[in-house]
Amino acid sequence: MTSVTPPAPLPSNGTLKLRQVFVRGLELQARLGIYAHEKVGPQRIRVHIDLAVVDESAAVGIGPDDLSRVVNYERVVYAAREAVARGHVLLVETLAETIAAAALEDPRVRTARVSIEKPDAFADAETVGVTIERTRDQTNL
């Protein structure tokens, strides 16, 4: 997630235009967990990513179909796949942090919320998992 256009300056009147970019239900096979049976092979996980993206370019007259004003969710999907492909991770939280950090590399992303579910962890539960939310440091906008 490199080579992106820097965000437009924040408006002086305190209003901030945001758009939500999301990926929901990305199913991956991940080597994830602390138990011996989780270290033997990959397990199914489901990833949900929600990004709050600065959308100030809309106010400066850039056309609605101009690709420079949008965050490409394909890059977010590739970042999640790459994080999983790196190898075994002990904690779901660590994997979520890695994906959120990759999304925040785009300077237009203000907030990244990442949820990871392990739907096969317990036979009597639909799913288990974690959600983390990370916000770009306001001083670095």
**Nearest by Cα to 28 from 132, 135, 117:** 117
So what's the pLDDT on residue 57?
A: 64
Q: Which amino acid is residue 8, in one-letter code?
A: A
- Reduced to 3 states (helix: H, G, I; strand: E, B; else coil), residue 123 is coil
pLDDT at 59: 58
Q: Domains of the chain by range and CATH?
A: 18-140 (3.30.1130.10)
SS (H, E, C) 40-79: HCCEEEEEEEEEEEECHHHHHCCCCCCHHHCCCHHHHHHH
Cβ partners under 8 Å of residue 40, min gap 6: none
Question: For residues 79 and 83, what is the distance between their CA atoms, to the nearest angstrom?
Answer: 6
pLDDT along the chain (141 residues), means of 10: 41 68 97 91 96 76 67 92 96 97 93 97 96 78 46
Cβ atoms 43, 30 nearer than 8 A: yes
Distances (CA, A) of 132 to 3, 28, 80, 124, 140: 26, 18, 14, 24, 20
pLDDT of residue 12: 42
Give residue-wise pLDDT tens across range 92-122: 999 999 999 999 999 989 999 999 999 999 9
